[in-house]
Amino acid sequence: MAVCVGVAGGTGSGKTTIAATILGRVGADRVAHINQDRYNRDLVHLTHAQLVHHNFDRPSAINTELLTEHVRTLKRGRPAELPVYDFVHHRRLTAVERLEARPLVLVEGILTLAIPELRELLDLRLFVDTDADLRFIRRLRRDLAERGRTVDEVITQYLETVRPMHQELVEPSKRWADLIIPGGGDSALALDEVIRRIEQLLREESA
């Protein structure tokens, strides 16, 4: 069985940075990395105006069943065919990407600890704790640069759905964390402890 580690936290908290650090220090050849965003549901039927007000941050907005199935498959040592999502046009592509099994399965996403079926598969649960203003700035920059949004659209979505869902689902899921990483992932001590625990779990699993 592979070791499963989940990285949760609010939008723009630094989850991807933490995941990249784990990949770099554990070794990319030992890690099967899954991002929750790949599992967003196809929204090609919605108009642009409807998309601005759509709630992307609730569990029903993603295919939690497929995500959980893929994590379980990788944990059992088998490869998975991951979906590919077009964030500009909000649609799932017909193509898939094969992810080979690795000793460590790394799952990243805002709802990683909020979905019970997924949470139960995790051997180590991490939560990246970051101030709200910094998280918003990071999200604004990302959505402008990578997802074709305007400033007004990002602000509207943040106030209508992102912030409320963070308060209702993401922040409360912190109670399930084994380790809380402060300061948006800038704590070297916290990162060292994360790596220490991961390596310990990997040693125990291979023993």
Indicate whether 185 belongs to any domain: yes
pTM: predicted TM-score of the whole model, two decimal places: 0.90
Angle between helices 188-206 and 15-26 (to 10 degrees): 50
99 pLDDT band (50/70/90 cuts)? very high
Indicate whether 98 belongs to any domain: yes
Indicate whether 70 belongs to any domain: yes
pLDDT for the residue numbered 63: 95
CATH for 19:
3.40.50.300
pLDDT for the residue numbered 49: 75
65-92: pLDDT as tens digits? 999 999 999 999 999 999 998 877 777 8
Indicate whether 203 belongs to any domain: no
pLDDT for the residue numbered 52: 72
Indicate whether 158 belongs to any domain: yes
206 pLDDT band (50/70/90 cuts)? confident
pLDDT for the residue numbered 92: 84
Q: Please, what is the average pLDDT of the chain? A: 91
Residues forming beta bridges with residue 106, ordered by sequence position: 5, 33
Indicate whether 118 belongs to any domain: yes
pLDDT for the residue numbered 207: 75
Using CA atoms, how far residue 101 sits from 60, 95, 176, in Å, is: 27, 19, 26
Indicate whether 205 belongs to any domain: no
pLDDT for the residue numbered 88: 78
Number of domains in the chain: 1
Range of the domain at 111: 3-198
Indicate whether 81 belongs to any domain: yes
161-203: pLDDT as tens digits? 889 999 999 999 999 999 999 877 777 889 999 999 999 999 9
